[in-house]
């Protein structure tokens, strides 16, 4: 079982780095992996899907998508998702996305995909969702804790660690207070690769991007440990 999570925003006004997408596709171990994209977190905005397909155009593989608004675009979402090699989830509102996923049974399906060894990947909301929780703007302009992730990975996760000034202090305070379990944070341009329940490495498409372990060593405060990333230079 393996997965890749990364924090680059993937939606209106955002970007997703081709080296990180290509890395996720390579994890499947196939020449032309089957890749399914979900942009539930952005309300299945058609413009976001157009950009998604453009971003995957240079990556060998067969790309499909699952939309849930206004209704599923396939009669059997489970069959679609479990027939993939890679599932990629875009950014937006993680709270809204998981509420909709649960209505449609995708929480159960994603767990089955994880157990089947399908590569689960995503950015921003699409990264937080695999963990126990994280920091989110799903509830308004102020960042707040999100504690209802799928929990496929037991740590918490914080995206945009270097690009949004409130993320770092909020995440550390939430870990220190026990609101979120200890976890991992990533700068924009960095991604965390997990194999089963273990962090395998941090990869990045930007020279200064890093990952960070945020722990609670004394039960009352947070400690941050930087993790150097392996640079991804090609596709």
Q: How confident is the model at residue 4 (pLDDT cuts 50, 70, 90)?
A: low
d(CA 88, CA 173): 30
**Mean per-residue pLDDT for 119-143?**
97
Q: How many CB atoms lie within 10 A of CB 225?
A: 10
- Asked if CATH classification 3.40.50.880 holds for the domain at 2-231, the reply, yes or no, is yes
Q: Distance between CA atoms of 195 and 153, rounded to whole angstroms?
A: 10
Q: Is the pLDDT of residue 18 over 90?
A: no
Would you give the end-to-end CA distance of the chain in angstroms? Answer: 23
18 noted as active-site residue: no
- Tokens in use for 133? 């929780």
Active-site residue, 93 included: no
Given a contact cutoff of 8 angstroms between Cβ atoms, the answer to whether 20 and 201 are in contact is: no
Q: Mean pLDDT across the chain, nearest whole number?
A: 93
When pLDDT is cut at 50, 70 and 90, the band that residue 16 belongs to is very low
- Cβ atoms of residues 132 and 100 within 8 Å: no
- Rounded Cα gap, residues 130 and 6, in angstroms: 11
CA neighbor of 155 nearest in space, from 185, 125, 200, 176: 185
H-type alpha helices, the chain: 18-26, 46-56, 77-82, 94-103, 106-115, 125-128, 167-177
CA distance 79 to 234: 33
Q: Which one is catalytic: 65, 93, 121, 160?
A: 160
Asked whether the bond before 70 is cis by omega within 30 degrees of 0, the reply is yes
Q: Are 25 and 55 in contact (CB under 8 A)?
A: no
Whether 221 has a pLDDT exceeding 90, the answer reads yes
Give the position of tokens 């995440």. 171
Closest CA to 53 of 37, 70, 69: 37
pLDDT of 10 strictly over 50: no
Residue 235 predicted with pLDDT over 60 = no
Among candidate residues 93, 124, 138, 156, the one labeled active-site is: 124
């Amino acid at each position: 079982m393996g997965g890749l999570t990364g924090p680059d925003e993937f939606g209106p006004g955002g970007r997703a780095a081709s080296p990180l997408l290509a890395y996720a596709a390579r994890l499947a171990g196939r020449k032309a992996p089957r890749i399914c994209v979900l942009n539930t977190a952005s309300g299945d905005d058609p413009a976001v899907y157009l950009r998604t397909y453009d971003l995957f155009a240079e990556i060998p593989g067969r790309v499909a998508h699952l939309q849930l608004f206004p209704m599923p675009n396939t009669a059997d979402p489970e069959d679609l998702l479990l027939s993939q090699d890679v599932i990629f989830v875009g950014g937006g509102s993680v709270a809204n996305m998981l509420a909709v996923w649960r209505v449609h049974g995708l929480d159960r399906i994603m767990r089955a995909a994880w157990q089947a060894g399908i590569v689960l990947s995503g950015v921003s909301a699409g990264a937080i969702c695999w963990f126990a929780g994280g920091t989110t703007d799903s509830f308004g302009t102020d960042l707040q804790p999100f504690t209802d992730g799928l929990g496929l990975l037991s740590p918490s996760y914080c995206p945009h660690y270097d690009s949004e000034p409130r993320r770092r202090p909020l995440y550390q305070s939430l870990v220190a207070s026990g609101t979120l379990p200890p976890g991992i944070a990533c700068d924009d341009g960095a991604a965390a690769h997990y194999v089963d329940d273990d962090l395998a490495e941090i990869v990045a498409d930007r020279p200064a991007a890093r990952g960070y372990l945020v722990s609670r060593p004394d039960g009352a405060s947070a400690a941050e440990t930087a993790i150097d990333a392996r640079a991804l230079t090609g596709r």
